[in-house]
Amino acid sequence: MTKIDRRTALAASAATLAAPAFLTASTVPLFAQAAAAAAQAPGFYKYKVGDITVTAINDGFFARPIEGFVRNAELPAVQAALGAAFLPTNAVPIPFNTLVVESGGRLVLLDTGNGNTGAPTSGTWMANFRAAGFDPANVNAVVISHFHGDHINGLRLRDGTAVFPNAEISVPAPEWAFWMSDERMNAAPEAMRGGFQNARRVFSPIAANVKRYEPGAEVAPGITSVAAFGHSPGHTVFVVASGTAKLIYMADTSNHPALFVRNPDWSAVFDMDADAARATRRRLLDMAASEKSRVHFYHAPFPANGFIAKDGNGFQLVPAQWTPSI
């Protein structure tokens, strides 16, 4: 279990677990225009990992003000990194991308998106999921990487409705132990209480049936969990493998790759234990680069998959070639 840094925990909880700081239309005209534009084509993308079919499902984005977003870098350095990636320098658009895995005759979701609790520019997940040919009633299993709201809120609507009524729900045991602990919730700063309350909103109605897996466990056919602590106490990533092919679902190992893949020692405001998160990020990026494994990032530009190349003291995300055939 990682040690939670109080300052980063407070910042992370205030930013992501209770009421995310979204930018207004008057603050960031670029994003406002994008949100108001005609609808884009459905955001799903299918590809193969050996004999396994995976589908990236986009859930939109939210725009996060830059000031204070990287806790251990000066604002001009962060703006320079964004500018080098041709992104706005006053805000970072943070995408949301889950993964659907079809393996062993089962339909498995890795995380669930924001549901109907997110920003005005998110909440596209279900429309994209259905456009990809899927039905929530046919989901066999949902495997959660960690309990931040943008990963679990898609399990349950604001009115309490369960979105995947026939699915087995699996969560990391260390994550459950932290967020579902009354002792920890009662001892937490007020700004952090929203995260504990939201976890209870999502999981309490099904608590008796939620499976809790330990890091290293196979959570579904062809899907193995890997400890990636730091971003949250039980943050977990997944290796999807078939034959000699492998995909690493990086979850929140990195927030936007333009910042944290290129600068792996930077700490995002959302990382609850900054030191552990940096060590985890370097370990997993090194592994992906050395093994030439395909990767999927939850917060990378859609379709959020590619390869990792070493670049000086950092890394680069090299997008995988788009293909019209699966």
Domains identified in the chain and CATH numbers: 6-319 (3.60.15.10)
Two tokens, residue 150: 């943008």
Which of these, 243, 224, 247, 237, lies nearest to 308 by C-alpha position? 247
What secondary structure does DSSP assign to 198-259, as a single string? HHHHHHGGGGGG-EEEPTT-EEETTEEEEE-TTSSTT-EEEEEEETTEEEEEEETSSSSHHH
Task: Write down the pLDDT at residue 39.
Answer: 78
**Higher per-residue pLDDT: 36 or 320:** 320
In the numeric block, the tokens 């993308």 are attached to: 45
**Higher per-residue pLDDT: 59 or 22:** 59
Q: Omega before 303 cis (within 30°)?
A: yes
Given pLDDT bands bounded at 50, 70 and 90, which one contains residue 120? confident
Q: Return the DSSP state at 70.
A: B
Average pLDDT, rounded, for the chain: 91
**Higher per-residue pLDDT: 151 or 104:** 151
Given pLDDT bands bounded at 50, 70 and 90, which one contains residue 21? very low
Which of these, 249, 269, 251, 248, lies nearest to 259 by C-alpha position? 269
- What is the pTM for the complete model shown? 0.92
Over range 54-74, report the average pLDDT. Answer: 96
Q: Return the DSSP state at 58.
A: E
pLDDT tens track for 92-115: 999 999 999 998 899 999 999 999
For residue 130, what is the enclosing H or E element?
helix 125-131
All residues at 6 or more sequence positions from 69 whose CB lies less than 8 Å from its CB, including other chains: 78, 92, 268, 269
Which of these, 236, 219, 226, lies nearest to 291 by C-alpha position? 226
Task: Write down the pLDDT at residue 8.
Answer: 52
Contact 98, 111 (CB under 8 A): yes
In the chain, the percentage of residues whose pLDDT exceeds 70 is 88
Question: Does 24 have pLDDT greater than 80?
Answer: no
Question: Does 189 have pLDDT greater than 90?
Answer: yes
Given pLDDT bands bounded at 50, 70 and 90, which one contains residue 34? low
The amino acid at residue 33 is: Q
Q: What are phi and psi of 316, to 5 degrees?
A: -130, 145
Given pLDDT bands bounded at 50, 70 and 90, which one contains residue 26? very low
Given pLDDT bands bounded at 50, 70 and 90, which one contains residue 89? very high
> Half-sphere exposure of residue 195, counting CA atoms within 13 Å on the CB side?
32
Given pLDDT bands bounded at 50, 70 and 90, which one contains residue 6? low
In the chain, the percentage of residues whose pLDDT exceeds 90 is 84
Task: Write down the pLDDT at residue 185.
Answer: 97
Rounded distance, CA 245 to CA 80, Å?
A: 36
Task: Write down the pLDDT at residue 1.
Answer: 46
Given pLDDT bands bounded at 50, 70 and 90, which one contains residue 118? confident
Over range 207-213, report the average pLDDT. Answer: 98
All residues at 6 or more sequence positions from 307 whose CB lies less than 8 Å from its CB, including other chains: 288, 292, 293, 294, 295, 317, 318, 320
